Amino acid sequence: MPNSFVQEGRFGLLLDHLFEKLLINKNGISDFDRSVYLQHYNHKENIRAANAWYQTFGEDIAHKKDYTKIKNPTKGIASSANFKILDSFLSNNVDEHEMTEITECGHFLQEEKPEQIAREISDFLK
């Protein structure tokens, strides 16, 4: 996304759109949570920094060919929409992994199903 797409002070328009499209549990993001997002992303330098992460994807893909498989046990947690994608990625890049599918959840797993996510991580780390 070009940095100029979201003008300073107008990030809320994009944020509302993303929350509407990517949340299944619309109560997962409170008004306070939204205000925290806005506090950080409503400034052009923060928008530029956040976009820089996405802009390195091509570089990450090029570097990936030099990586070895992860040897440590790995836990994948994904919503139903992304479960197969994450499972496929981990199958190709990790020696040993287990997956958990979080149903009735959108993109924001921790916000939409915090207790279930915490339990899955805690159980994996025991």
Statement to judge: residues 122 and 95 lie in one domain: yes
Note the pLDDT of residue 3. Answer: 52
Note the pLDDT of residue 112. Answer: 96
Q: Which residues contact 74 (CB under 8 A, 6 or more apart)?
A: 90, 94, 96, 97, 98
Q: How many domains does the chain have?
A: 2
Boundary (domain end) residue, out of 64, 94, 113? 64
Q: What is the mean pLDDT of the chain?
A: 90
State the residue range of the domain holding 93.
Answer: 68-126
pTM over 0.85: no
Backbone φ and ψ for 29, nearest 5 degrees, come out as -115, 115
As a whole-number percent, the residues of the chain with pLDDT over 70 amount to 94
Task: DSSP letter for 76, please.
Answer: E
Q: What is the pLDDT of residues 9-64, one digit of tens each?
A: 778 888 899 999 999 999 999 999 999 988 888 888 888 888 888 899 899 989 98
Statement to judge: residues 1 and 60 lie in one domain: yes
Boundary (domain end) residue, out of 41, 64, 87? 64
Statement to judge: residues 77 and 24 lie in one domain: no
